[in-house]
Structure 1
Amino acid sequence: MKTAIVTGAAAGIGAACAKRLAADGLAVGVLDLDEARCAAIVDAIRADGGTAVALGADISKRAQVREAVANCREALGPVTVLVNNAAVTDFTPFDEVTDELWDHVYAVNVRGTFVVTQEVLPDMRAAGWGRIINISSSGAQTGNPGMAAYSSSKGAVITLTRSLAQELGPFGITVNNIPPGSIMGTIMAEENRSRFVIPVDTLIANMPVRRLGEPDDIAGACSWLCQEASSYITGQSIGVNGGRVVS
């Protein structure tokens, strides 16, 4: 049984990905800032016959991540699948962004992805096999007004994906990126619904698929990228956005 860690997995996209990977037969480390918040997802996975453990860490803090990865490894075995989903968002006009706010967004969204990936990489190298899926944002592809810190940090995640794909490919490790677009049912989306520049009804009317996305849409793509069927795919951005961004 392969073991995965999904960050930011207590709710939303991360929870959906954790449940889907468990349904696919992987053991899952459900990691979030507050370990207690992961309990419901772990219980749901176990109720469906899956294997999971709750993990707590601030992904921007290496010591906490290292401990969480060690706990996961001890409970479930070497980690060969990683979904870097944990992130923070921000809706501050550019001229009001402080140094502290900018640094916080980058600490979680960029350094956190870097730290967690580094900490699980030895397991993947030892296995000669690995799957890394980074969750970025369609805002990194288009830009968003009032979201310079968030969008640019997610752009860094896309570039990191491309670089790691080239560096880690010879070791049997693929690295891909999913930039979600217009996904409802996440903490970020629900807490910031009133800040959307485009009203939801207008957004739906202009979406090629005529609906908003759900966390399970991202989980489906994540599941596919973890399978052998996708072994020749690396360094790619798999847009799950209903056609909001086309390439």
Structure 2
Amino acid sequence: MDLGFAGAVVVVNGGTKGMGRAAAETVAAEGAKVALLARGEQGLNDTAARLTELGAPDVLPIPTDLNSRTDIQAAFAAVGDRWGVVNTLVNAVGPVDVGIGPLDTIDDTNWHATFDIGTLSAVKCVQAALPLLRKAEWARIVNVSAHSVRRQSPTLIAYTAAKAALTSVSKNLSQTLAPEGILVNTVSPGSFLSQGLRDFLSRLPDDRRPDLDDLYAVMDAIDAEFGHPAFIRRAALPAEIGPVIAFAGSRANTYMTGADLNVDGGSDF
């Protein structure tokens, strides 16, 4: 299926790891020009090289602290100087090593850090991107939320709150921007073996730590730790959600806005 990305400009924050990278690789293979916003220079360079191999005609890796409004504004200024417009903004960065734990273990610093990266980074990117999105022939925003906003876990209270706020912001933006033809959707992954989840599981005690190469064992561990089982009794790899994010952010998506696409391996939610 031609998603209409040939020659389009796509910006992915958090595009060097996990689901953000999977989305970037998908649109690169479709012929998009891609800007990557992330902190690690090595990851940016490695990902940029891979996107070029996949067929992206132009890749712009931009070292960016996604907690910094100054950095974000500078990044989108660079995108504007390079290409003049943005067709698709994907906000894929999320809290890592913050926001996980029961209420009495999360202090104010942790709460603020979770919302800063889990919600406000996307808000700041949308604000900076809007002038370029408005100049494009077609424009889409995709925010990566989380399936956990639908079913709670005592150890995910801050993380889930930040992602729920992002889902709410996205719904509001879908209404606000619809008259301008800018479609806004969220994609909510379930049990995907992202780097953050890998790191969390690898720190579990020996008797609870799964074999990370066994996606069925990983799913069992996720169910035990968070109470989030799936009808498909395995965890997923980030590459499995890249095409979903890409479609939501594509020219081929002509009428879906305000949706929250649940990609969780099957559930009652």
- What is the TM-score when the length of structure 2 is the normalising length? 0.85
After superposition, give the CA deviation of every residue in 1:147-205 in whole Å (9 maximum; x if it has no partner): 21111000001101110000001101000001100001x21111011558996353699
Instruction: Establish whether residue 189 from structure 1 lines up as the match of residue 197 from structure 2.
Output: yes
Cα RMSD between the aligned structures?
2.1
- Counterpart CA distance in 2 for 1:28 and 1:228 is 15
Alignment of 1:145-184 (within 5 A): 145-184=154-193
Q: How far apart are residue 140 of structure 1 and its match?
A: 1.5
Partner of 2:64 in structure 1? 57
1:36 and 1:236 map into 2 onto residues whose CA distance is: 34
Give CA deviations for 1:79-101 in whole Å, capped at 9, x if unaligned.
12000011114322211211111
1:12 match: 18
Query: What is the match of residue 243 of structure 2?
Result: 220
State how far apart, in whole Å, the 2-side matches of 1:201 and 1:10 are: 24
- SS where residue 176 of structure 1 aligns? strand
Three-state SS of the structure 2 residue aligned to 1:113 is helix
What is the TM-score with the length of structure 1 in the denominator? 0.92
For 1:94-243, what aligned pairs fall within 5 Å after superposition?
94-127=103-136, 129-184=138-193, 186-193=194-201, 194-195=203-204, 200=218, 202=220, 207-243=230-266
Q: Distance in 1 between matches of 2:73 and 2:252?
A: 31
**Number of residue pairs the alignment of both structures matches:** 245
1:181 and 1:241 in contact (8 A); partners too: yes
Between stretches 212-221 and 168-177, larger displacement belongs to: 212-221
Identity %: 27
Q: 1:201 to 1:103 in 2, by over 3 A?
A: closer
Query: What is the DSSP-based 3-state SS (H/G/I as helix, E as strand, rest coil) of the residue aligned with 2:183?
Result: strand
After superposing on structure 2, the runs of 4+ consecutive aligned residues of structure 1 that deviate more than 4 Å are 194-199, 203-206
Q: Per the alignment, do residues 99 and 30 of structure 1 end up closer, same or farther by CA in structure 2, a change over 3 Å counting?
A: same
Any unmatched runs of 5+ in structure 2? 1-6, 211-216, 224-228
